[in-house]
Amino acid sequence: NTTLGILHSAADSILEDLTFQGVWNPLLMSGSDFVDSSSIGLKFLATSSLINCQNNRIKNCKFVNLNTAVVDDSDSRYNIFDSNYIYKCYKGIIFGENTDLSTPGMLIGPTYNVISKNTFHEVYTNGIKIKTGQWNSSQLNKFIKTGTDGADENYAKYFEKNQEINFFNFLMFIFL
């Protein structure tokens, strides 16, 4: 597992103008084999629901050639993902995919986070996926050649609001 950045119970931090660069294999251009299948750009961890990642701002960062750009299975809250560029990743910003709802720090999943003005370019499965967590919002994001679960890697057949999402507010999407 290659994780480039970890925010462990971080609060009031600003990550700005950073690049999280993975390993690209140009010979393998499809499916999960095209990058290191365990590479993560930025991961959020929480000691508990009270000691969690909160009030952090991730702005103008680039996530390139990774399996997953951002992973958050913790009880994080009030984090802002603003104007980032996610390029040639298998997954984009993924909330609550492995939240088990019983481990300290994973009792409710990510809440009240804002994903805004990001560009998802050639993200092969999901640009944004929320499995567990609530009251998160997405606004003014741009999706270029970004798929959804079950879609071809190079073409989004449909846009899917994952049925496991609790009140995930999609305000505006631009598909190119």
Task: Dump pLDDT digits (tens) for 156-172.
Answer: 443 444 433 333 444 44
pLDDT band at 55 (very low <50, low <70, confident <90, very high): very high
* pLDDT per position as a tens digit, 75-93: 999 999 999 999 999 899 9
At residue 14, does pLDDT exceed 80? yes
How far is residue 73's CA from residue 174's CA, in Å, rounded to a whole number?
26
Mean predicted confidence (pLDDT) in 16-36: 68
User: In Å, how far are 63, 73, 101 from 133, measured between CA atoms?
Assistant: 23, 9, 10
Query: For the purposes of burial, counting CB atoms within 10 Å of the CB of 82, is it exposed (0-12), middle (13-18) or buried (19 or more)?
Result: middle
* pLDDT per position as a tens digit, 118-136: 999 988 888 999 999 999 9
The secondary structure of 42-67, three-state, reads EEEECCCCCCCCECCEEECCEEECCC
How far is residue 141's CA from residue 154's CA, in Å, rounded to a whole number?
18
Tell me the percentage of the chain whose pLDDT exceeds 90.
Answer: 62
At residue 95, does pLDDT exceed 80? yes
- Return the pLDDT at 165: 38
pLDDT band at 28 (very low <50, low <70, confident <90, very high): low
User: In Å, how far are 67, 78, 122, 125, 131 from 136, measured between CA atoms?
Assistant: 23, 9, 23, 20, 11
How far is residue 135's CA from residue 151's CA, in Å, rounded to a whole number?
26
Nearest in space to 147 (alpha carbons), one of 137, 162, 138, 159: 159
Nearest in space to 87 (alpha carbons), one of 66, 60, 70, 71: 66
Residues 6 or more apart from 159 whose CB is under 8 A from it? Answer: 148, 173, 175
Report yes or no: 132 and 95 within 8 Å, Cβ to Cβ. Answer: yes
At residue 52, does pLDDT exceed 80? yes
| CA 141 to mean position of chain CA atoms | 13
